[in-house]
Structure 1
């Protein structure tokens, strides 16, 4: 498809997308506008009244539960039991399992002496006879204090219960975690300008306030009388000026203690949603239109890119088929050469064997060079076998022969392969460094083909170094423990970064014209792929290359 065809397709996609998307978008915007108008016409004051009433009841229930729990402990256990530190600690652990709001627990006798204590502070034997809460508890039987500093030197409040047991009077007292209590108050306020806190009848904050200050600060705002009730539930809703703003304030006195719950909301902030409703709807419509246009453009581009990608893949497939044809032709040529070379190799091996047979009948004393001739015949046979192995590999390359399954020691195979090129490396003054891991296990693979892979890579490394360098050959086990590897690192010229992705392609070579066919690494890649292995390469131009051959442990 030409460029004009791509342009027409893009315009069609965008037109259809806009027509079928804008109508439902405008309908949605109109519906959202109506819903916002209905929702935000409710009275903020009634919502605030409900919030204050619910939170006041929750705080009273919290305090009632703690007082009842402390009473139950005092009247179900004797003084003797609770004054035992071990038993008191066990009881404390039980109640902490059900409620994390207690900081400590203590038993105090009628003289104010702390007889038993469990908690994080060193308060045992502390005398409380001069503390106001002690006298209030002895007088009223139970007492919930305001927040105060006390011996702990940090703000807290206590719940104390008195019990008369025969002629003995004693008090069970618990410190309440002010953080757990404050969490019931925090989070009530809405928006950035809202606030919620507790204050006692003297105007001292019992919990921290966002704008009035920390706990135990003095509040300047006038408080209603505890007897004042705005409705049957005792909730007061009114508007008050607070820091140059008119705030809607909801207040209610707690039933258990003379603390006032105060919740403030800024009416402008609450009503701003209604004011912003139309602008939000307009922004949504504009954003939707922009999103649809962007989506249409991206969709059209995606389709065109896929078409272009398909054309490129087709061209790459054609090139791959052509390369496959070249490789097939090369395989036939290699097979023909191997077949022609095999015949003279067979004759040479038979002649060497015949010479060895003749030597058996000779008298060693009469024939001066019998041993040298026998050694030469053995070398002829050895090198003929080696040449036949090469031709066998050429036949395998041409005929795609199935790999053999042999128990192979990678260290031994690497060491044997290095011996083939030791003289060449010595001639070029190239040092070969071996770092073979003796602990790696054997694997099952085709020894001849793996030897061909190692030989090709070593030969390339020698050519890359040229002279006066080094080649490091190391073996080991992969990190996942499923593979063994042989790594060949040279100090040669390296491979340019842009060519790393093409070095395994057939007929690609970095050598000079006439010095390489570009088939060595392609053959190595094909062999390893057939054997279930893999090859990795790392290189930096001017600093050398490292080829790592991985073989699966079977």
Structure 2
């Protein structure tokens, strides 16, 4: 009987030891799994932040080059007769020889009178004095618009400068096709599911890669809209040109990691994203390796514990 009592007690101790081992290994597996998951997400967030900063620089360079081109061209000494329709077309042709993005070119007096227009522009040129682009150009000397669908439904932006010449002060406006800029966006890859977007945060409209010719790919998403508060809080807290990242949800329910940056006084929002599912593929592979390692370790511990108890009975 004493021998039987000792055997029952030993079985109990052995069972409790196994339970303790299972608990410890399970907690370790859970902790390491979460650690790997969070680490994988943070690594991808850091990569996407670098990517969005890179695209931010490319976009700023694109805008500055074309804005400076417009300034240089309009600083030439023209008399007031040179701002007529014929000269406007000549200036548009000259711009197009350097950058093929320009769609239209127009010149206005400070009072809003149209002197010359070449190409197609969608604005109401009969009354520009109350329009934002015109008033901002007069006060700040330049203006770059958000994205919008221009003539022939082409994703477009407008830029304007205040030109001071011997003929007086004039507001010079040009519109640009965004196909070239979208090509620059396409150069940044963020995995198979990655996307790069240039966004009008006021309306939620965005230009995404890939871009097929002149097809209107200026789409709309509430999650890109200031009004939906998706980016608004971060914009207020971190300020302009501060890069941040978060996990967001698309309209179809797909979770994505997004990195974004505000530029041009909040006029532009650059977003680079990657599907969370793709990001976690590596995590799942590591989880399998972790499970196999911990399973082997647990079996080894059980075997060692069993041998130890058998030796203890002797």
Which TM-score band (shorter chain)? 0.5 to 0.7
Specify which structure has the bigger relative contact order, considering alpha-carbon pairs within 8 angstroms and separated by 6 or more residues: 2
Residue 172 and residue 82 in structure 1: after superposition, are their counterparts in 2 closer, same or farther (change >3 A)? farther
Query: What is the TM-score when the length of structure 1 is the normalising length?
Result: 0.37
Please list every run of 5 or more consecutive structure 1 residues that lacks an aligned counterpart in the other structure.
1-39, 278-554
Q: Structure 1 residue 244 and structure 2 residue 229: aligned?
A: no
User: 1:75-474 counterparts in 2 under 5 A?
Assistant: 75-80=75-80, 82-120=82-120, 126-148=126-148, 155-165=155-165, 168-186=168-186, 188=188, 190-208=190-208, 215=218, 217-220=220-223, 222-224=230-232, 225-229=234-238, 234-242=242-250, 243-255=252-264, 258-272=267-281
State the number of aligned residues: 236
Tell me the CA shift for residue 83 of structure 1: 0.7
Cα RMSD for the two superposed structures? 3.8
**Shift in alpha-carbon separation, 1:89–1:257, aligned structure 2, 3 A:** farther
Aligned-pair distance for 1:147? 2.8
The offset of 1:49, in angstroms, is: 1.7
Does the C-alpha gap of structure 1 residues 151 and 196 become closer, same or farther in structure 2, counting only changes over 3 Å?
A: closer
How far is 1:74 from its partner? 1.8
SS at match of 2:75: helix
Distance 2:123 2:270 in 1: 32
Partner Cα separation in structure 1 for residue 247 and residue 122 of structure 2: 48
| Deviation for aligned residue 1:102 | 0.8
Richer in strand (by share): 2
CA displacement, residues 400-452 of structure 1 (integer Å, 9 cap, x when unaligned): xxxxxxxxxxxxxxxxxxxxxxxxxxxxxxxxxxxxxxxxxxxxxxxxxxxxx
Distance (whole Å) between structure 1 residues aligned to residue 256 and residue 103 of structure 2: 36
The answer on whether the counterparts of 2:200 and 2:267 sit within 8 Å (CA) in structure 1 is: yes
3-state SS, counterpart of residue 220 of structure 2 = coil
Which entry has the higher C-alpha Rg, 1 or 2? 1
Maintained 8 Å contact 1:162/1:170: yes
| Partner SS, residue 103 of structure 2 | strand
3-state SS of paired residue (2:222): coil
5+ residue gaps, structure 2, are 1-39, 211-215, 225-229, 287-314
In the alignment, the residues of structure 2 paired with residue 41 and residue 223 of structure 1 have an alpha-carbon distance, to the nearest angstrom, of 20
Q: Offset of 1:45 from its aligned partner?
A: 2.4
Q: Distance in 2 between matches of 1:41 and 1:248?
A: 8
The Cα of 1:52 is off from its aligned counterpart by 0.9
